[in-house]
Structure 1
Amino acid sequence: MNILMMTNTYLPFVGGVERSVQIFTGEYRRLGHQVLIVAPSSSQQIPSDETGVLRVPAIQHFNGTDFSVPLPIPGILNAALKQFKPDIVHSHHPFIIGDSALRISAQLKIPIVFTFHTFYERYTHYVPGDSKALKKFVIALATGYANLCDFVFAPSLSVAVELRRRGVLSHMEIIPTGIETELFLNGDRRVARKWLGINEDVFVIGCVSRLAPEKNIDFLVLSVKKFLEKRRKVCFLLIGSGPCEDKIKANLKNEIIEGKVIMPGTVTSQPLIDCYHAMDLFVFASKTETQGLVITEAMASGVPVVALRASGVAEVIDDKKNGCIVENESCEDFVSAMNWVQGWGRKNNLKRNAINTASKYTKEICAQKALTVYEGLRRKNHILRNHSESTWETAKRLIKAEMDIIKNMTRATGMAITNK
């Protein structure tokens, strides 16, 4: 099967969407399928051995962030699509390249699948003029986009429920991003602790996250700070980078916790796996996740998790079995949950339960679920497709796709300026 992946963000930027595209693509290719990824160009160094990725022009560092915004790409894909001959197009964003995905689906008369990776209204602070109206606009835009697609992938049950509540009517299935569980089982605790300068008798609280406001990072840092201030032989290993990095360092700078905070920046590949194994507890406070991939990675490494209750999180954490769910955004409650886990340390039952939970999210299982959907859509599309279609019929279909995009934009705008 020839699968066309279309995304507004991709490596070398590291985030949930990028990881998801990379993981699914790798597994599809391992199973013998062909995948072409359409993604924006990047100001960061792109690996010289990158293959199967078509980079399109993009505005770099949008609004002072490390995100890029793809430019309209009419015509730039034609040659590549003619050669690749996709059987299905999978969109990972409901705008910009996502609109191009709709047009390609209509032009080639192939099914389109959309993964709802993000609650976009929780990221509008990156856009000038952030307001309630803008939040309503992006909710309506994403909902309308989902309804223009043949199938929607929801990364978790809570996301699927919310999408139905918002009015998404398209066929939908819960398909999370899987991980290579065997890989995460094989980390070296001692290697990571030696590299980071952490003694073996130190209790390590860890987090892997983009250091940004939407990750609720201020609350997490404040909670961990309270924990560190009252204990000896503990430290906080915060892995990641982002716009809040300097602020976090300033907030964690005081005499009481001096030497208890380690921030190595972005870590990937085997060193990241080793770092997971160096942790005794993983903490997470984001309320914007649709899955929380790092939680699954931590559990696959045998690390219990303490996290705020949020979409995509509660489905993974079994309270008091593989970690703790904190119901209220209270530092006291969060610290109490951390205390509970520290009391148990890395006892075998917590570790075993965490690993067993992660085993349900292997990349093989998740990719096969996705491929089953693709194949069903492909068979249905083959039956419906009129191979002798005239140029006029193709033009009418393209015009309809363009009108659908405009109608969705108009509807979202109307929702934003009303009180509905």
Structure 2
Amino acid sequence: MKLYITNEVNNAFYNSQEMGLAKALVEKHPEHHVDIVMLSESVSKRQYSKLRAEVLGQDEAGDIRVHVLPAKGFGHHGFIELGILKELKADLVHLLADNMFYAPQVISYCLKNDIRCHLYIGTLFTDSSNGLKRAVSRVMMGRNLSAYRKVPVYAKTPYVLKLLKENGIEAKLAPVGIDPESAQGHDGVTDVLEIREHYGLPFAKKILLFVGRLEDYKRPLEAIQLLSDLADSSFHLLMIGDGELSTSLDERIKELGLQGRVRRIPKIPNSEMKDIYRACDFFVNFNRVEIYGMAILEAMVNGCPVIAMRAPGPEFLIDDGRTGFLCDSDEEMRRKIALLTRNEDLRREMTEKAREHVASELTWERTVELFEDWN
């Protein structure tokens, strides 16, 4: 169950963690089936009634079923009619709780109705740079933390595991993974030049890749500054994402005279991201409060070397100097880019070690074994 409200029906533009885990679960336990319950602003009550009739009428042999409910709530915090848990005859609720306001109600409902429940937590407090939002988040989380102590809790990262412990909650680590098919990386069938032509990218340039929401804490403006500071027209920047800083970003590009060296694409379907990683030369991440970083994981497995500012997520995912680079400053990031540009052997060795690390240690197959109450 995912309480975060999206504006999509099918998560086409994001790596679906819930689907990846569900596939690994039914592979490991073929006697189970999984119902994924999520909220969307794009589904009306009428559409949902039709969807629910179709889904609930399916044969029970279906291993995984997705239920998209019309959104209710405020911001990204969704509310849900919990009676659906009885309709679906839930034995265990795997709740993506994080800092969702309605999580305590779900826990209470499960406890009252003898439905087992555990939490899967990727963040406790907002990563917004807005001081007011952070303060409100801290206050709101008081009631959540009280509820979280009543059920088993699993953390997606060591950093969140540490935060939970500091707040009196004993949890176990179950890292976010990638599905086995994705862990094999790009199949290499599509030519890099074909990919670049398709997305309007220059053929004979070194391309830096930034993927993420254009919000302050992701620091997209620093990606623009990095490109400017490289002072080498052989480098270009591809930015995938949209958000409140999009106008400021375009203005900064003009101020620095970089119009011909930056390509911005608001959205690309997740199914096409393998091509993007393969077509780019470096993946850069500037988020200094990055909790995990699915895009980092995807870049590592698809042969795009990662150069990231130090943060909890990158420090967990990257073995500095072996499977990627961790940096403390923009200057250090420039040095690492220059190093990989002139040392193709190091680049090749680093990307291969990164892929091997993800494929062996960070797949959903490995993660599903860490949850102790599937049976």
**If the length of structure 1 is used for normalisation, what is the TM-score?**
0.74
Q: Is the 8 A contact 1:280 1:345 kept in 2?
A: no
Separation of aligned partners in 1, 2:67 and 2:26? 13
Aligned in 2, Cα 1:132/1:194: closer, same or farther, shift over 3 Å? closer
Q: CA deviation at 1:130?
A: 1.5
Aligned partner of residue 105 in structure 2, secondary structure: helix
Q: Which residue of 1 aligns with 2:62?
A: none
Q: CA deviation at 1:9?
A: 3.1
Aligned in 2, Cα 1:199/1:136: closer, same or farther, shift over 3 Å? closer
Separation of aligned partners in 2, 1:201 and 1:18? 30
Please say if 1:192 is aligned against 2:195. yes
Q: Which residue of 2 aligns with 1:70?
A: 78
Separation of aligned partners in 2, 1:344 and 1:279? 16
Equivalent residue letter for 2:41 = S
Please say if 1:53 is aligned against 2:67. yes
Q: 19, 24, 31: which is aligned to 1:27?
A: 24
Q: CA deviation at 1:208?
A: 1.5
Q: Which residue of 1 aligns with 2:85?
A: 81
For structure 2, the residue ranges without an aligned partner over 5 or more in a row are 56-64
Tell me the alpha carbon deviations over residues 88-143 of structure 1, each in whole angstroms, 9 at most, x when there is no partner: 11221243441232123212223321122224232374xxx926642431454454
Separation of aligned partners in 2, 1:156 and 1:131? 23
Separation of aligned partners in 1, 2:227 and 2:12? 23
| 1:2-41 paired onto structure 2 within 5 Å | 5-10=1-6, 11-12=8-9, 19-30=16-27, 32=30, 33-41=32-40
Q: Which residue of 2 aligns with 1:158?
A: 159
Q: CA deviation at 1:317?
A: 1.3
Q: Which residue of 2 aligns with 1:110?
A: 115
Q: CA deviation at 1:341?
A: 2.6
Aligned partner of residue 55 in structure 1, secondary structure: strand
Q: Which residue of 2 aligns with 1:176?
A: 176
Separation of aligned partners in 1, 2:356 and 2:322? 11
Q: Is the 8 A contact 1:299 1:355 kept in 2?
A: yes
Aligned in 2, Cα 1:115/1:220: closer, same or farther, shift over 3 Å? farther
Separation of aligned partners in 2, 1:97 and 1:57? 13
Equivalent residue letter for 1:9 = I
Q: Which has the larger radius of gyration?
A: 1
Tell me the alpha carbon deviations over residues 34-62 of structure 1, each in whole angstroms, 9 at most, x when there is no partner: 22233223137999899521414415xx5
Q: Which moved more, 1:175-184 or 1:11-20?
A: 11-20
Equivalent residue letter for 1:136 = R
Q: Is the 8 A contact 1:306 1:337 kept in 2?
A: yes
How many residue pairs end up in the alignment? 351
Q: CA deviation at 1:237?
A: 0.9
Q: Which residue of 1 aligns with 2:362?
A: 361
Separation of aligned partners in 1, 2:110 and 2:120? 15
- Identity, in percent, stands at 19
Q: Is the 8 A contact 1:6 1:101 kept in 2?
A: no
Separation of aligned partners in 1, 2:313 and 2:115? 30
Please say if 1:309 is aligned against 2:310. yes
**If the length of structure 2 is used for normalisation, what is the TM-score?**
0.82
Q: Which residue of 2 aligns with 1:231?
A: 232
Tell me the alpha carbon deviations over residues 371-390 of structure 1, each in whole angstroms, 9 at most, x when there is no partner: xx223xx5xxxxxxxxxxxx
Q: Is the 8 A contact 1:184 1:301 kept in 2?
A: yes
Q: CA deviation at 1:304?
A: 1.1
Separation of aligned partners in 2, 1:18 and 1:350? 24
Separation of aligned partners in 2, 1:320 and 1:173? 25
Equivalent residue letter for 1:102 = I
Q: Which residue of 1 aligns with 2:250?
A: 249
Tell me the alpha carbon deviations over residues 152-211 of structure 1, each in whole angstroms, 9 at most, x when there is no partner: 221122321232223323x42233233443463225323321112334321111121122
Separation of aligned partners in 1, 2:144 and 2:344? 42
Aligned partner of residue 36 in structure 2, secondary structure: strand
Aligned in 2, Cα 1:261/1:304: closer, same or farther, shift over 3 Å? same
Q: Runs ≥4 in structure 1, deviation > 4 angstroms?
A: 10-18, 44-51
Aligned partner of residue 354 in structure 1, secondary structure: helix
Q: Which residue of 2 aligns with 1:90?
A: 94
Separation of aligned partners in 1, 2:323 and 2:205? 21
Q: Which residue of 2 aligns with 1:341?
A: 340
